[in-house]
Amino acid sequence: DEQQRIVLQANTIDQVAPGEQQPESDHFYKGEQSEAGLYNGRHWRHSRAWFSYDLNDKQLEAKTLQITYAGIDAGRRFEIRLNDVLIAKVESSGNAKDFFTVDYAIPQTLVKKSGGKYTLKFIAAPGSVAGGIYGVRLLRNSPCAAETCATN
């Protein structure tokens, strides 16, 4: 929906398009045993070890980390860390070919200590894969706190 897209864009502090050269370069991509590709028209990145991006939040207003996944990657296990603080242990799920987003709250103590910069790191569990990650957004609010978001 166009209105939700406008609200989401206005709410976005920083974002990365994983697997796309320029956005990854702009966000100082690093990684080991990592691959990128294209699935259903969306770029992605995953890794059997880890990969990271640097994100900016100059006004120290980040509240939510929003990650886009695809159901085809169900069963993968990995950690999401922001400045070495564990944000989530993920066991990816989903239906077949669907893309979906998950919002993760960012502890405000982390925001205050960040100096406006974060290193976002995806770390594969032993024998698993981190990702695929299809989108990364740093948000001022959880998008569905906005009045225009649908409620379940």
CATH code of 124's domain: 2.60.120.260
Q: Could you tell me if residue 152 is inside a domain?
A: no
What pLDDT was estimated at residue 82?
A: 98
Task: Give dist(CA 25, CA 58) in Å, integer.
Answer: 19
- pLDDT of 146 above 60: no
Q: Could you tell me if residue 151 is inside a domain?
A: no
- Segment 118-144 shows an average pLDDT of 92
The predicted-structure confidence for 104-129, as pLDDT tens digits, reads as follows: 999 999 999 999 999 999 999 999 99
- Per DSSP bridges, beta strands 85-91 and 77-82 are antiparallel
Q: Cβ distance 35 to 44 under 8 Å? A: no
- Segment 4-22 shows an average pLDDT of 93
> Whose CA is closest to 128, among 38, 37, 17, 33?
33
The predicted-structure confidence for 49-95, as pLDDT tens digits, reads as follows: 999 999 999 999 999 999 999 989 989 999 999 999 999 999 987 66
Strand, coil or helix: what is 109? Answer: helix
**How many structural domains are present in the chain?**
1
- pLDDT of 147 above 70: no
On whether the pTM is more than 0.85, the answer is yes
- pLDDT of 137 above 60: yes
Q: Could you tell me if residue 58 is inside a domain?
A: yes
* Average pLDDT, rounded, for the chain: 90
Domain extent, residue 8, equals: 2-141
What pLDDT was estimated at residue 115?
A: 95
Cα 115 to chain centroid, rounded: 20
